[in-house]
Structure formats: structure tokens, C-alpha cells
Structure 1
Amino acid sequence: MKKHLHITHTRVLIVGAGPAGLGVSLALQRAGVTDQLVIDAREVGAAFRAWPNTMSLLTPSFYSNAFGLTDLNSIDPDTSPADFLHTQHPNGEGYAKYLEAIVSHFQLPVRPGVKVTSVKKESARFIVQSEQGEIHADYVVWAAGQFFHPRDHDFPGAEHALHSSRVPDWSALEGDEFTVIGGYESGVDAALNLVHLGKSVRLISRGEPWASDDPDPSRSLSPRTLDRLRELLKTPEKAGLIEFVKNTTIKSIEKGPGFWTLRDQDEIPLATTTRPILANGFHNGLGIVSDHFEYDESNNPIFTEEADESTRTPGLFYSGPALVHRNALFCFIYKFRARFGVIAAEIATRLGLPEVEANLKTYADAGFMNRDLDCCTNCECAIDPDDAETPEPASFAQL
């Protein structure tokens, strides 16, 4: 039975009850916006609950809020997943519990199980159609996330592979030899988990991210992942189970009787007797609102630098890992949270609320209200990856 949605009008509607949506909701609450609603097609932190059971956050959690250094994985200046969960790298289930605690403690107006089917703007208001009825809003913040939008149809035959996001337990996969397509975080994570189970893995990557020295963790492997690789390679029997295939782009996959054939950019075939693992990331998650945004030459959605608002549909804001400004990626929680206060301040000001800046001072002090995008782009981490030099180690064992 479908739940009946009683609310038909709200000043601000937030779509998505993950860290991006709840973070903006908290900032709006601090700015004085009480008439708001957060909806989600599933539940609070649903994407984190769907993570493979061995996956955990790359960025470390450490409670240092009292010293003015907010936990990297927190979604507001006053809480800490490390303090709440007593772990440095929360797993998906743990982080979802942290988000649930946020909702409960701050009494955020969250309605789970409300799936949006369309968003349109008529005059000065949005009409959002859901399976539970119509919602009218003055402003919409799209924070639906990416995890449930895997890139599993990017090339011919990609559907024959198993996307890494759809593996709840690596130990449940049958077979002894695996091919993983994608050499960044999710691909290396898949390879590490399989090798630790005694499986042999061929890791195929378009570039050579394990050798990149780009200081931006959004463009290279994170220090934690590199540490995990170094630790694995210290054990000869495990090091011998992983093969690194660099500068190779898989263009197609063909399914045969009991085997799969992968073809690269030179039409060279690679055969595997187990279903290939696809670890090529996710779509931007804009989904049904994608037509409400403009796109650049790289097909990245364009947001205003003033407040991450659509340049095509005023009043529609975005919060989440698809945020890009001036070639700087905001795809980690500690990055896109820097704009929570910016979005909240803009909406609260347009609603005519008093003392917005004063109410959000703690957000500004904690780095949750970053309006100076030069700090993110005039540095080494914003260099064009095409201009970056990539070292050529003789082997990965040099790490």
C-alpha cells in the first residue's frame, strides 16, 4: 500500500535523504527556514545501506570539533561520525545510522518512501509529482545522489558485466579468476576484496591511477587505498594474484557459452570465465531533472557559482557529488558540504528571513559556507589532469 502524502505545499523541498540532502536541511534550519520537507524514494542513508559489506568511507573520521576542526565526514559543524560510531572509517551501515541520528536529534522533516516522478516549474513555483501525490514548492534542492545510477550501459555489451555497486558480498561470487574493469577507487576496492579471498584478479584501467601523483584525491587513488595496496603487496603470495593492466579501454563485451570476451581500443580480445566486474562509476544522479540544467563541453552540469543553482531553471539548486566548479570536483562529503551554507543563505535571503548571515556564522567558521571558489581552483589539486605528469614506475611494488 502506498503511503499518503499529506503535505501539498512547502517553501523548500529537498529531494534526497543522504548526506547532501540532510546537510542542506540542517543549514536551512540554522538559517531559520522552518517550512521545509525532505523526501526520499527509499530511506535515510539508503545508498550507504546498499554498499558491499566490506566497503567503508575513504576519508578518515576523527573527533576534533572542539578544536575547530570538523570531522571530515560530518554533515554539520557540531556532530562527528567518529564520536558517534567510535571508528575512523565508518562502513555503510554505520554511516547510515549516523544520518538517522542526525534526523532524530535535529527533528528534520523527512518523509521516506516518496518517489518523485516529475518536476516542472509553473510561474514562480515548482510542481513536483510523486507516486503519493503532488507537492508544490517555492524552491527545490536536488540531492538524490549517484549510487543507484551506475554506468552499466556505457558501451556495447556492458550489461553483460556485473557493476560493483550491485555486489553486496564479494565472498558470494563463484569462481577463482576475475576481471575488473576500472582502476580507480571502486575498481581497486573490488580487486583488493577478491584477492583477500584468494582469488586472482586482472585489473584493467584506462590510465594508471595507482601511479598518479595528482594531489587531488578526486583524480587519483586516496592515501587509504594506496596503503591497502602497499600492505597487500608486502605478501608475495597475494601480490602474485593481482595483474595491473594500464592504459586500456574496454570497448565491448560479448557473452559466450561459459565465458565472456572483452575487446579493448585495439580490438584485442581478453577472455574470462567469470562475469566481468564493472567498476566505472556512476551517472550524475540528476535523472528526471536533467533537462532543467545546462551542460558544458564535457557534459558536466552547470551550476551558478553564487549558490549552485541551475542556470536554466531558477529556484532549482543542487547538492551532492556531481558538483563541479572551474575544474574543481566536489565529489567527497567534505567537499560538497562546503556549499551547504551557501545554498541555505541564498534561499533564506530570498525568503526574506532576518539575520541569515549571523545565524550561519558557525557554518562559515567551520568551512561549510565557502564562497571563495578561488581557494579550490587556484591550487595544485585543480590542475588540468591532461597537463599532469604521471610517473612510470617499473612495477607497482615500488609503492
Structure 2
Amino acid sequence: MSESAQFTQTKVLIVGAGPAGLGVSVALKQAGVTEQLVVDSREVGAAFRSWPKGMSLLTPSFFSNSFGLTDLNAIDPVTSPADFLKTQHPHGEDYANYLQAVAQHHSLPVQTDRAVIAVKKEPSGFRVATSKRAIKADYIVWAAGQFFHPRDRDFPGAEYALHSSKVKDWNMLEGDSFTIIGGYESGVDAALKLVHLGKSVRLISRGEPWASDHPDPSQSLSPRTLDRLRALLANPEKMRLLELVKNTTIKSIEKSDGFWILRDQDDFPLTASTQPILANGFESGLSIVSDLFEHDKHNLPVFSEEADESTITPGLFYSGPSLVHRNALFCFIYKFRARFGIIAAEIAQRLGMPDVEQKLESYHKSGFMNRDLECCTECECAIENSETYVPEPSTFSNR
């Protein structure tokens, strides 16, 4: 058997069949790159299909494409989850169905149940070991998401907690009182769902995100989450079930007989009668290619500003929620999709595709080719809001 018969050959390999991977795949096809392959260890939109029951996208979907305003949750300039699903905040399963529909509509070359095991840089490209045949590719776009890489080992005893991503249905948790570690979106979402089920919840946060007025929605709670929190705090019966613990960092968890002990930055003990819930986010998702990227002093991956390429491994690009430029987080779909056209154009031009910029004109007009990173890091709010949300102090505790 010849060597070429032992592997699959492609110009571009995209790892991950979520919004980041499929979005870049569509852009590459628009740019003229048809020799590409998208692989995923699970299925299209697997992370969204694994979301807890009832969990939905924070960013609103609205069909306004015909007026030049692409749906915030769309992964290409011509489709709209709102138009396809007829809902504003799609649940995980629904959004995964939208992703599947996009893949089918564009006839994307997706292969599921094909896990990437190892990636090796070679002089002529990359050799990739998978759970099936090996793959040789000139370029790789790493678009594996974060959901299957929870931060569940951040401190001693973290393994005794239940990460929020492992909860399939909040109705299934036994007990009447819960402690949640993490005050950002996933933590508040979990708290609200449990309170509405009649459970009492203590929500522990390092800061006070529910009172933050940071202009970047990645640094504060979304308007939708704040609306839900306001509605709960306006209900006396529900409000008494929620305790917000601010400026507290859990440093360790100890498991005892029938209860758990959480210790904060001052070694102050907090007891929990049910398994603590971790809502502290996810790892980068770079996993096996992490060593092929440079990392900064905070151990965050570094990407080229020109095209989100590894600065130490030429030909390896990244697309997804771990993208950071100039301290600006691209963790929402509407943010990291702004670079789909950038990655596609760079790869297409290196492959010698003609008229790339013209072919991607619709991406440029729709905000999918954002080269101006200053717009992402500079924000000036010209109108001051005199009614900034500040919850009643009685709902807070430092312990």
C-alpha cells in the first residue's frame, strides 16, 4: 500500500463542527477554497446539544438581513437563526439544528465521530492523527470549542464540586439548598433556574458582576440576564431564596460526611449541604495543539493580529471563543465571527485563489471581516445612564 493511501489529503483541515469551524468553512468556500475538510469528534453542534435543558443563547436573534443587519447568532452573512427557528433566544438543541442546516445548505465536507489525536508540523504542512485515517493538510484551522473542557481543577478540592456543564436538567438535582461558585452568566443562569424551582441558592462571586457597568458584555452580565435577575429580586417570595455573596474567592473544598466545606481567601469556612456547583467557565479548548501556540505571561494563547494565526507555528489558525486581541475577548459568536473572513482570505490568498477580496465582499459588508481591532478595544458611551442597575444592598453578603 502506498503512503498516500494511508492518509486523507486536503488543503485545509478545520477541527470542530461548531459555529467557529462551520463559519470559517463557509467563508473559505465563498473565497474559492473547495478542497477542505471539517472533522469533529462528536457531531455537528455537539456542545449545544449538550447544554442543560432550558439553557438558551444570551444574544438575541432577529431576522434583519435584508436591511443589512445580520442576525447576531448567524455564522454567515445570508442565514438567520431567528428566521430558521422562529425564536429570539434559541435553546441549545435548536441552535445545533440551525448549524446542521447551514452545513447542509452549503454542502460542507463535514466528517463526524472523527477525533483528532495528535498534530505534527512538517515542512510541507501538517500530519494529523485521528481516530480513523490520518490526515495531511497544508493549513489547519483549530475551531474546537470550550464546552467539553470545563475548568474543574482550578483549586484543591474542586473535583468535589459539580461543574454546571455536567448538569443536563436542573430539575434532576436533589436537595433544597445549593451553593454556586461563579457569579457570571452561567452561575447566575443556574441560580435563577434553581430559585424558580423553589430552591434556596447562595451565589458566590469573586467580584460583583451584577452591578458592573463595564461596556464590554464579556466583562459584565448581559442585559437579558440582568432583566431576569431584576424580575426575581422584584418578587419577595423569590428574592428571599437568593443570597448574593460578592468579592469572595473560593480557595478550596473539603468533602465531609454528608456535607462540604468551602474556604474563601481569608480561610473562612462556608458549609454546603449539597454538592457545590462550579460555574467558573472553561479552558481554552486548544488542548492537544496548545504547545503549537505562544502564550503570554498570564498563560493565554497569543494569535497574530493579521489573521489569528499561531505566532510560532505558521499555517495553524484559530477560530472560536478563546480569541483575544489587545485584551478584548471575542468569546461570543457575533464577536469571533468577525474574523471568519480574515482567516478565509489569508488562507485563500496563500493558496493562490483569484479575486479573494471580491468574493468575500459580502463578508466585509456584513462585519465578518473586521481588520480594525481598535474598534474592539475602544468604547466611548456618549449617553450616561442615570438609572444604572444597583440591587438592594440587603440582598448582598460578604460571607
Scaled to the shorter chain, the TM-score interval is over 0.9
Aligned position for 2:373: 373
Tell me if structure 1 keeps the 8 A contact 2:6–2:134.
no
Distance 2:34 2:392 in 1: 59
Give the Cα separation in 1 of the matches to 2:277 and 2:380: 33
Question: Aligned residue for 2:393?
Answer: 395
**Residue 89 (structure 1) aligns with:** 89
Cα distance in 1, alignment partners of residues 131 and 198 from structure 2: 46
1:375 shift after superposition: 1.1
Cα deviation, 1:37-81, whole Å, max 9, x if unaligned, reads 000000000000000011000000000000000000000000000
**1:334 corresponds to which residue?**
334
Q: Secondary structure at the match of 1:250?
A: coil
Alignment-derived partner of residue 300 in structure 1: 300
- C-alpha change, 1:6 and 1:31, in structure 2 (3 Å) is farther
Residue type at the aligned position of 2:137: A
Q: Give how far 1:6 is off.
A: 8.6
Where do 4+ consecutive residues of structure 1 move more than 3 Å? 390-394
CA distance in 1, matches of 2:291, 2:368: 28
In the superposition, relative to structure 1, how do residues 127 and 265 fare at CA in structure 2: closer, same or farther (>3 Å)?
Answer: same
Alignment of 1:218-229 (within 5 A): 218-229=218-229
- Read off the aligned partner of 1:196 and give its amino acid letter: H
- Contact kept? 2:124, 2:138, Cα under 8 Å: yes
Deviation at 1:215, TM superposition (A): 1.2
- Cα deviations across residues 174-196 of structure 1 (Å, max 9, x unaligned)? 00000000000000000000000
Distance 1:68 1:17 in 2: 27
Q: Is the 8 A contact 1:13 1:37 kept in 2?
A: yes
Q: What SS is found at the alignment partner of 2:301? A: coil
Query: Partner of 1:48: helix, strand, or coil?
Result: helix
Structure 2 residue 123 is the aligned partner of structure 1 residue 137: no
Do structure 1's residue 195 and structure 2's residue 195 form an aligned pair?
A: yes
> Using the alignment, how far apart are the partners of 2:202 and 2:276 within structure 1?
10
Deviations 1:236-262 (A, max 9, x none): 010000000000000000011100000
Quote the residue 2:384 is aligned against: none
Per the TM alignment, residue 374 of structure 1 is displaced from its structure 2 partner at its CA by 1.1
Which amino acid letter does the alignment assign opposite residue 320 of structure 1? G
Q: Which residue of 2 aligns with 1:172?
A: 172
Question: Which residue in the other structure is 2:385 paired with?
Answer: none
Give the alignment's Cα RMSD to 1 decimal: 1.6
Q: One-letter code of the match for 1:354? A: P
Which ranges of structure 2 fall in alignment gaps of 5 or more residues? Answer: 382-387
| Percentage of matched positions with identical amino acids | 73
Which AA in structure 2 matches 1:277?
I
Residues 215 and 379 in structure 2, CA contact (< 8 A), matched pair in contact too: no
Q: 1:391: how far off? A: 9.0
Task: Give the letter for the 1:20 counterpart.
Answer: A
Residue of structure 2 in register with 1:185 after alignment: 185
Distance in 2 (CA, whole Å) between partners of 1:6 and 1:168 is 40
Shift of 1:91: 0.3
1:241 & 1:333 partners in 2: Cα distance?
33
Give, in whole Å, the separation in 2 of the partners of 1:396 and 1:42: 46
**Alpha-carbon separation, structure 1, partners of 2:118 and 2:160:** 30
Q: What is the alpha-carbon distance in structure 2 between the residues aligned to residue 325 and residue 286 of structure 1?
A: 16
Report the counterpart of residue 244 of structure 1 in structure 2: 244
The structure-2 alpha-carbon separation of the partners of 1:391 and 1:229, relative to structure 1 and needing over 3 Å to count, comes to closer
Match for 1:139: what amino acid?
Answer: Y
Residue type of the partner of 1:154? Answer: D
> Does the C-alpha gap of structure 1 residues 166 and 137 become closer, same or farther in structure 2, counting only changes over 3 Å?
same
What amino acid maps onto 2:255 in structure 1?
K
- Cα shift at 1:395: 2.1
Q: TM-score, normalised by structure 2?
A: 0.95
- Structure 1 CA distance, aligned partners of 2:298 and 2:138? 31
Pairwise CA distance, 1:233: 1.3
TM-score using structure 1 length:
0.95
- Shift of the 25–7 alpha-carbon distance from structure 1 to 2, 3 Å rule, reads farther
CA distance in 2, matches of 1:7, 1:366: 38
Secondary structure of the structure 1 residue equivalent to 2:251: strand
Letter in 2 for 1:65: N
**CA apart distance, 1:331:** 0.3
CA deviations over 1:100-159 (Å, ceiling 9, x no partner): 000111100000000011001110210000010210000000000000000000000000
1:397: Cα distance to partner?
A: 6.8
For 2:313, what is the secondary structure of its paired residue? coil
User: How far has the Cα of 1:7 moved from its partner?
Assistant: 6.2
3-state DSSP of counterpart to 1:8: strand
Distance across 1 between alignment mates of 2:368 and 2:197:
40
The residue number in structure 2 matching 1:59 is 59
Q: Are 1:319 and 2:331 an aligned pair? A: no
Give the whole-Å Cα distance in 1 for the aligned partners of 2:295 and 2:7. 33
Shift of 1:392: 7.1
Task: Label 1:396 to 1:167 Cα distance change in 2 as closer, same or farther (>3 A).
Answer: farther
Distance 1:103-1:392 versus aligned 2 partners, 3 A rule: closer
| Unaligned residue ranges in structure 1 (runs of 5+) | 382-389
Change (3 A) 1:218 1:303: same
Q: Which residue is equivalent to 2:212?
A: 212
CA distance in 1, matches of 2:232, 2:244: 14
In the TM superposition, what is the alpha-carbon distance from 1:379 to its structure 2 partner? 2.0
Does residue 161 of structure 2 align to residue 161 of structure 1?
yes
Matches within 5 A, 1:63-74: 63-74=63-74
Q: Is the 8 A contact 1:230 1:397 kept in 2?
A: no
Distance 1:151 1:20 in 2: 21
Structure 1 residue aligned with 2:147: 147
Give deviations 1:368-394, integer Å, cap 9, x for gaps.
Answer: 00011111112259xxxxxxxx99765
Corresponding letter in the other structure for 1:60: P
